[in-house]
């Protein structure tokens, strides 16, 4: 019998992680849960259950609180997500002592920074104009989204936004050509020097700029090293002398 009680559904929004340090993070974006008072918790992917396909996410703010102070017997909040719905109760309950949800002003500023980054990354705007335009938008929309404008401005420092947008600019990578070869831009250095020097039939490529070639030429002793612990997705570790 219907008893008039509607089951509350706790929904999360997903957005790309600020740092694309690991392939795993870019495959599993950050999950954000917004409380009714406008504050939010963000959750980072931990693992996927092989049994039922549920995704396990850990609270980022709990992790920060734990880093500040270890509290015996306390653990960080984990949510279980299935089809964008949190299925293990209220995502606001049971956090680590001292876990602070993100205030709405920060969330609002963050959203605008993300949009500015996307525009810069797609090559549609310069760093400077994206920073100025989105700062204007951010402050203009504060009232609309119920955020104190002064607090919003505090989350927008010129230096950090410029750094972030500059990173977005350099992370813009043109796609491969239809035949799988590198686009012209990736065969040259930023100053237009030749960078791609050799392509083997198996697809291996050798990159080196003029300065490094001349350093090798002048040196009587060469030492070789390589990174063996990890390789980006789609790449294999190789060290040929
Ligand atoms: Zn937490």
Distance from residue 60's CA to the centre of ligand 1 (Å): 6
Q: Which residues contact 178 (CB under 8 A, 6 or more apart)?
A: none
The pLDDT confidence band at residue 62, using thresholds 50, 70 and 90, is: very high
User: What's the CA dihedral at 198, 204, 206, 207 to 10 degrees?
Assistant: 120
Q: Which residues contact 58 (CB under 8 A, 6 or more apart)?
A: 43, 44, 46, 76, 77, 78
Distance from residue 224's CA to the centre of ligand 1 (Å): 45
Distance from residue 116's CA to the centre of ligand 1 (Å): 28
The upper half-sphere exposure of residue 109, i.e. CA atoms within 13 Å in the direction of its Cβ, equals 21
Distance from residue 31's CA to the centre of ligand 1 (Å): 13
Distance from residue 59's CA to the centre of ligand 1 (Å): 5
Lowest mean pLDDT across 21-25, 101-105, 142-146, 234-238:
21-25
Distance from residue 111's CA to the centre of ligand 1 (Å): 20
Distance from residue 117's CA to the centre of ligand 1 (Å): 27
Between 226 and 32, residue with greater pLDDT = 32
Distance from residue 61's CA to the centre of ligand 1 (Å): 5
Distance from residue 210's CA to the centre of ligand 1 (Å): 51
Distance from residue 219's CA to the centre of ligand 1 (Å): 54
Q: Which residues contact 120 (CB under 8 A, 6 or more apart)?
A: 126, 127, 130, 165, 168, 169, 172
Distance from residue 95's CA to the centre of ligand 1 (Å): 4
What residue segments make up the domains of the chain, in order of their start? 10-86, 104-170, 180-241
Distance from residue 77's CA to the centre of ligand 1 (Å): 5
Distance from residue 16's CA to the centre of ligand 1 (Å): 19
The pLDDT confidence band at residue 140, using thresholds 50, 70 and 90, is: very high
Proportion of the chain above pLDDT 70, given as a percent = 88
- For 182, counting Cβ atoms within 10 Å of its Cβ (0-12 exposed, 13-18 middle, 19+ buried), the class is middle
Distance from residue 28's CA to the centre of ligand 1 (Å): 19
Instruction: Quote the pTM value.
Output: 0.54
Lowest mean pLDDT across 32-36, 46-50, 169-173:
169-173
Reported as a single tens digit per residue, the pLDDT across 196-222 is 999 888 878 889 999 999 999 999 999
pLDDT tops 50 at residue 2: no
Residues with CB under 5 A from ligand 1 (ion): 59, 61-62, 77, 95, 99
Reported as a single tens digit per residue, the pLDDT across 70-92 is 999 999 999 999 988 999 999 99
Residue 235 confidence (pLDDT):
66
pLDDT tops 60 at residue 25: no
């Amino acid at each position: 019998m219907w008893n008039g009680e509607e089951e509350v559904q706790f929904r999360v929004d997903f957005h790309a992680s600020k740092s694309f340090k690991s392939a795993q993070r870019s495959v599993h974006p950050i999950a954000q849960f917004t409380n009714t008072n406008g504050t939010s918790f963000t959750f980072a992917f931990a693992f996927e259950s092989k049994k039922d396909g549920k995704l396990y996410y850990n609270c980022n703010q709990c992790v920060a609180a734990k880093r500040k102070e270890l509290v015996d017997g306390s653990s960080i909040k984990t949510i279980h997500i299935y089809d964008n719905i949190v299925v293990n109760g209220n995502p606001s309950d049971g956090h680590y002592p001292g876990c602070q949800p993100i205030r709405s002003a920060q969330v609002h500023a963050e959203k605008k920074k993300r949009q500015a980054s996307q525009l810069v990354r797609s090559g549609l705007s310069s760093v400077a104009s994206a920073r100025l335009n989105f700062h204007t938008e951010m402050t203009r929309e504060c009232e609309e989204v119920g955020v104190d404008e002064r607090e919003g401005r505090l989350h927008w420092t010129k230096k950090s936004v410029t750094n972030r947008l500059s990173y977005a600019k350099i992370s813009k990578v043109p796609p491969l050509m239809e035949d799988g070869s590198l686009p012209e831009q990736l065969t040259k250095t930023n100053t237009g020097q030749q960078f791609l020097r050799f392509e083997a039939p198996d697809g291996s490529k050798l990159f080196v700029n003029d300065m490094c070639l001349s350093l090798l030429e002048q040196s009587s002793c060469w030492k070789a090293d390589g990174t063996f612990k990890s390789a980006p997705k789609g790449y294999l570790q190789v060290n040929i002398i």
